[in-house]
Structure 1
Amino acid sequence: MFFAPPFSFPIDSYVRLTQGSAAKDVAEHLKDRNIIRSTFMFEAALRWYGDTSIIAGEYYLTGRQGVFTIARRITSGDFDVEPIKITVPEGTSVRGITALLSAVPDFDSEAFYEIAKDKEGRLFPDTYFILPGEDPTLVLKRFEDNFAKQTSQAQVALAVSAFGRPMEEVIVMASLLEKEANNSHDRRLIAGILWSRIELSIPLQVDAVFPYLIGKGSRNLTKADLQTDSPYNTYVNKGLPPGPITNPGLSAILDAVTPTETDYLFYLADRGGTTYYSVTYEQHLRNRAKHLGS
Structure 2
Amino acid sequence: MIRTILLTLLAAVITVVVGLTLWIFSAVGATSQNESVVNFTVAKGEGIRSIAGRLEKDQLISARLPWTLYTVLTGRHTSLIPGTYTFQTAVTGKAVVEQLVAGPTEEREVTVTIPEGERLEEIATILENKGVVDAAAFLSLTKQPSDFVQTWTTDLFASKPPTVDLEGYLFPDTYRFFENTPAETVVRRMIENTDRRLDATIRAKILTSGRSLHEILTLASILEMELKTPSDRAIAADLFLRRMAAGIALQSDATVNYVTGKSRLQPTIADTEVESPYNTYRNKGLPPGPIANPGLGAINAAITPTPNEFFFYLTAPGGQTIWSKTYEEHLTKKRRYLDS
Normalising by structure 2, what TM-score?
0.68
Distance 1:162 1:35 in 2: 64
Whole-angstrom CA distance in 2 between matches of 1:259 and 1:248: 16
Change (3 A) 1:84 1:218: same
Contact preservation (8 Å) 1:159, 1:254: no
Letter in 1 for 2:282: V
One-letter amino acid of the counterpart of residue 173, structure 2: D
1:160 aligned residue: 206
Alpha-carbon displacement from aligned partner over 1:160-211 (angstroms, at most 9, x marks no partner): 1221111110110000000011111000000010000010010000000122
Shift of 1:108: 1.3
What is the match of residue 110 of structure 2?
84
Aligned to 2:170: 123
- Among candidates 286, 295, 314, match of residue 240 of structure 1: 286
Cα separation, 2, equivalents of 1:174 and 1:119? 15
Q: Which residue of 1 aligns with 2:48?
A: 5
Partner of 1:111: 137
Distance in 1 of aligned mates of 2:67 and 2:88: 13
Question: Which residue, out of 275, 279, 297, partners 1:251?
Answer: 297
| Map of 1:31 onto structure 2 | 68
> 1:90 is aligned with what amino acid?
E
Deviation above 6 Å: which 4+ runs of structure 1? Answer: none
Counterpart AA for 1:169: E
Larger proportion of helix: 2
Q: Which moved more, 1:99-108 or 1:253-262?
A: 99-108
Which structure 1 residue ranges, 5 or more long, are not aligned? 10-16, 37-52, 65-77
- Describe the superposition over 1:1-32 as per-residue Cα deviations: whole angstroms up to 9, x where unpaired: xx7226xx9xxxxxxx9xxx955626466324
User: Is the CA contact 2:235–2:305 (under 8 Å) kept in the aligned structure 1?
Assistant: yes
Matches of 1:202 and 1:28, distance apart in 2: 69
The answer as to whether partners of 1:81 and 1:131 remain within 8 angstroms in 2 is no
Q: Paired residue for 1:171?
A: 217
Q: Provide the rounded CA distance (Å) in 1 between the counterparts of 2:60 and 2:286.
A: 49
Alignment correspondent of 1:215: 261
Which consecutive residues of structure 2, in runs of 5 or more, have no partner in the other structure?
1-45, 74-86, 144-164
Structure 1 pair 260/122, CA: closer, same or farther in 2 (3 Å)?
Answer: same
SS of structure 2 residue aligned to 1:129: strand
CA-CA distance at 1:136 after TM superposition: 1.1
Please point out which of 123, 148, 157 is paired with 1:97: 123
1:204 to 224, 227, 250: 250
Q: CA, structure 1 residues 134+278, in 2 after alignment: closer, same or farther (shift >3 Å)?
A: same
Opposite residue 124 of structure 1, the aligned amino acid is F
Q: TM-score, normalised by structure 1?
A: 0.77
What amino acid is the match of 1:186? Answer: D
Counterpart position of 2:197? 150
Identical-pair percentage: 35
Letter of the 1:25 partner, please give it: S
Amino acid paired to 2:204:
L
Which 10-residue stretch deviates more, 94-103 or 194-203? 94-103
Structure-2 separation of matches of 1:245 and 1:55: 31
The answer to whether residue 227 in structure 2 is matched with residue 184 in structure 1 is no
Two-structure CA RMSD over aligned residues (Å): 2.7
Q: Bigger CA drift: 96-105 or 192-201?
A: 96-105
Q: Determine the structure 1 residue equivalent to 2:318.
A: 272
Asked if structure 2 preserves the Cα contact closer than 8 Å seen for 1:121 and 1:246, the reply is yes
Contact 2:253 2:265 survives alignment (8 Å): no
Distance 1:62 1:229, change over 3 A: closer
Q: 1:233 offset after TM fit, Å? A: 0.7
Question: CA 1:201–1:103 in structure 2 vs 1: closer, same or farther (change >3 Å)?
Answer: same
